[in-house]
Amino acid sequence: MAPESVRYEFDSGIAVLTLDDPPMNLVSLETTRALEAALDAVERDGARVVIVTGAGERAFCAGSDVTEFPRMMRPGEVVDKKLRRQNAAFNRLAELPVPTIAALGGLTYGGGLEIAVCCDLLIAERQVRLALPEIKLGIFPGSGGTFRVTRRVGQVRAKELMLFGEPIDADTALSWGLLNLVVERGEALGTAKEWAATLARRPRTSLRLCKALINATDDESDEEMLRRSLAASDQAFTSAECDEGVRAFLAKRTPDFTALD
């Protein structure tokens, strides 16, 4: 049996999904299937935090496998054969209720950037370049880039990225708000694991509620967000994690939220 193009590891509540089809870790039909299987494992294991990274030093993911395109160029075929399933898999990653971190150690182009922005937090090494170059193939980002990237950087920057299709460096991406942190070569995954270890010790219920509320801000009115926030606050304040947090604070000790799983 051929090795999985998305490798899955789980330890201490942290799941690591590694795009593992070097050197470029391209998004293929097989990658989509393997990503679905990895996300099944995330849900099965009850991961508290998820990290997505890429194997090798050249690329996190350099985009779609263009060699698959000639089989999909009649009307309706690219949606049926590729994009519908690919979008569903990416959307599953984006909608995970737990914190997600992308650790970028190489080229993050096209579908690779679309995977990365499905994550909550993005860490990139300084040599990384990021791009949405689909326009140069006569197409455009078809798996969430048009809206997920725009939500992060705004319309002005998003149009610059997608209409020109040219790469930007990590420092530029950081200044645009596309990244959370830039680190030195070889440090992205290690930093992501440090962040994940911190998040894994945070209260699971409140993390999920907070993430859900933040994600809803672009879609709901202030009145609806207030209603949802109050309902979530009531849920958080009546949770076992809140009870543990308050007891620990009053006892001047460190709370142990993982013991409540």
Residues labelled as active-site residues: 114, 134
Q: Identify which of 90, 86, 108 has the alpha carbon closest to the alpha carbon of residue 39.
A: 90
Q: How far apart are CA 22 and CA 51, in angstroms?
A: 18
The most distant pair of C-alpha atoms in the chain lies apart, rounded to whole Å, by 67
Sequential DSSP letters for 151-211: HHHHHHHHHHHHHH---EEHHHHHHHTS-SEEE-TT-HHHHHHHHHHHHHTS-HHHHHHHH
Q: How far apart are CA 176 and CA 154, in angstroms?
A: 9
For residues 47 and 10, is the Cβ–Cβ distance under 8 A?
Answer: yes
